[in-house]
């Protein structure tokens, strides 16, 4: 038993110790980049991604029916997908993009006006936000029937809807619904909510999780009404600088192949004008590259949060594939339509250099890998990666993203000079008599040496600001 525990401890530290001392080339994961191609106007790339996503949505439209579940395991996911489909149609309509087929519109309007759907709304006023987008779309398109409108009015008049304590981006969600739906008595003040949320307190891309970044994108979406012109919404960008979070998030998740959050961050960054146009062009080329072989935008490997553990395995193969990919294709279809409509951002459409997988671009992707290593707390590996990035010629915003990662690495140093806080790893390694001194010597010391060397090299390079990143 003791030997097995020690083995587990060593597995946890493999990337931090052994790889921290390996050759520089081995610390980088292979980067799958699209081939060189002209990207003088990203609209062609946007149109290709849009077509891929739109066709996949149409081909799988029956899966979005909120009433097409036969087991409880599928109920929440179907309803979530349905309301997100309705949101996509609202945005598409708002930026002047419509499907050649009326089937998506017909499905959303029919189900939004279905007695069963309005009964769900009236039964669950605390969960109103699960149902709002189909109601909004039906009203905006002029297809909300009287019985459904009466049900919505009844729920909005109930104390229950407003008594639920919501995190800031969910308050913004409800505020957004009220404005678009036309509910005049909304008690939510966006100017009071936004200072409490992630726009005013951006996540640190070195250790943020996906929920932190999705909160940023959603806050920006609601603020900007997803890019749809509307007199009730602000004309200017949100008064916050999210550049480091947006750019760092895009790089970090390109590095691990998560198309879903990259597309969300891209759309948010374009709405907020805080992502460099050259990064937008590259990220779009990367998304198209990922979609070329399967013929759809691949979703992340993680199981959808709406399915309890093990439930997805009980679904058929087609259902499982839909559950994994539906959100990414909706995001892709929405993001491309909105970004195409951003004709008032001329820098995005200006002619520029052809896209090529240059050394500069490789350095940026490796910056994303460095952030990912920090987020996984593989500090030794991150330190070795940092040493390989010190000589890269980063200008802002990339230099600031790098500095953010270095700042986080510095914060992992304890008062005795050790790097890393290893309570659980030490417990696993030393269970049943394993030696604590050996743990520190074999596991902690190599990490500390690697981090100290990397920080020193960074400090000596002149890359940090006058006050330092600490």
pLDDT digits (tens, 9 = 90+) for 221-245: 999 999 999 999 999 999 999 999 9
Taking alpha carbons only, the member of 177, 171, 131 closest to residue 151 is 131
pLDDT tier at 37 (50, 70, 90 boundaries)? low
CB 85 within 8 A of CB 110: no
What whole-number percentage of the chain has pLDDT above 90?
Answer: 70
- Give the mean model confidence (pLDDT) for residues 62-74: 87
Q: Check residue 466 and give its pLDDT.
A: 47
Q: Check residue 461 and give its pLDDT.
A: 87
CA-CA distances (angstroms) from residue 423 to 9, 420, 439, 440?
Answer: 12, 9, 12, 12
CB 149 within 8 A of CB 118: no
Taking alpha carbons only, the member of 392, 405, 406 closest to residue 364 is 392
pLDDT tier at 311 (50, 70, 90 boundaries)? low
Residues 109-122: tens digit of each pLDDT: 999 999 999 999 99
Average pLDDT, rounded, for the chain: 88
What whole-number percentage of the chain has pLDDT above 70?
Answer: 84
Q: Check residue 304 and give its pLDDT.
A: 60
Residues 337-365: tens digit of each pLDDT: 999 988 666 666 654 445 566 778 889 99
319 upstream amide cis, omega within 30 of 0:
no
Q: Check residue 242 and give its pLDDT.
A: 98
> What are the phi and psi torsion angles at 37 (to 5°)?
-160, 150
- Give the mean model confidence (pLDDT) for residues 98-127: 96
Q: Check residue 2 and give its pLDDT.
A: 42
């Amino acid at each position: 038993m003791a030997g097995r525990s020690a083995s587990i401890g060593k597995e946890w530290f493999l990337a931090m110790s052994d790889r921290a001392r390996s050759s520089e080339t081995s610390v980088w994961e292979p980067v799958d980049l699209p081939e060189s191609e002209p990207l003088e106007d990203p609209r062609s790339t946007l149109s290709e991604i849009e077509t891929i996503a739109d066709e996949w949505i149409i081909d799988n439209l029956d899966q979005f029916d909120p009433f097409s579940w036969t087991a409880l395991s599928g109920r929440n996911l179907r309803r979530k997908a349905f309301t997100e489909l309705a949101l996509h149609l609202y945005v598409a309509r708002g930026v002047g993009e419509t499907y050649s087929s009326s089937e998506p519109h017909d499905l959303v309007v029919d189900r939004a006006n279905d007695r069963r759907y309005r009964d769900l709304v009236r039964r669950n006023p605390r969960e109103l936000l699960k149902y709002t987008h189909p109601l909004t779309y039906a009203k905006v398109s002029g297809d909300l029937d009287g019985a459904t409108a009466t049900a919505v009015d009844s729920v909005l008049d109930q104390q229950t809807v407003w008594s639920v304590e919501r995190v800031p981006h969910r308050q913004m969600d409800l505020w957004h619904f009220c404005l678009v739906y036309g509910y005049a008595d909304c008690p939510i003040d966006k100017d009071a909510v936004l200072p409490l949320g992630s726009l005013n307190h951006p996540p640190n891309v070195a250790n943020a999780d996906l929920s932190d970044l999705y909160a940023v994108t959603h806050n920006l979406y609601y603020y900007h009404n997803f890019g749809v012109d509307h007199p009730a919404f602000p004309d200017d960008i949100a008064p916050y600088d999210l550049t480091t979070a947006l750019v760092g998030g895009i790089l970090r998740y390109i590095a691990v192949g998560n198309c879903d959050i990259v597309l969300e961050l891209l759309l948010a960054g374009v709405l907020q004008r805080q992502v460099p146009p050259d990064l937008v062009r590259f990220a779009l080329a990367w998304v198209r590259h990922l979609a070329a072989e399967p013929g759809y935008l691949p979703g992340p490997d993680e199981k959808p949060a709406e399915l309890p553990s093990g439930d997805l395995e009980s679904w058929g193969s087609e259902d499982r594939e839909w559950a994994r990919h539906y959100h990414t294709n909706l995001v892709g279809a929405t993001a491309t339509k909105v970004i195409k409509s951003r004709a008032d951002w001329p820098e995005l459409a200006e002619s520029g250099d052809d896209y090529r997988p240059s050394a500069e671009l490789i350095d940026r992707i490796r910056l994303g890998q460095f952030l990912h290593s920090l987020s996984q707390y593989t500090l030794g590996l991150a330190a070795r990666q940092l040493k390989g990035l010190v000589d890269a010629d980063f200008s802002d915003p990339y230099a600031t993203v790098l500095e953010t990662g270095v700042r986080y690495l510095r914060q992992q140093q304890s008062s005795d000079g050790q790097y890393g806080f290893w309570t659980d790893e030490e417990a696993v390694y030393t269970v049943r008599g394993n030696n604590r001194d050996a743990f520190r010597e074999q596991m902690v010391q190599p990490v500390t040496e690697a981090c100290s060397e990397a920080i020193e090299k960074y400090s000596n390079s002149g890359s940090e600001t006058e006050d330092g990143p600490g």
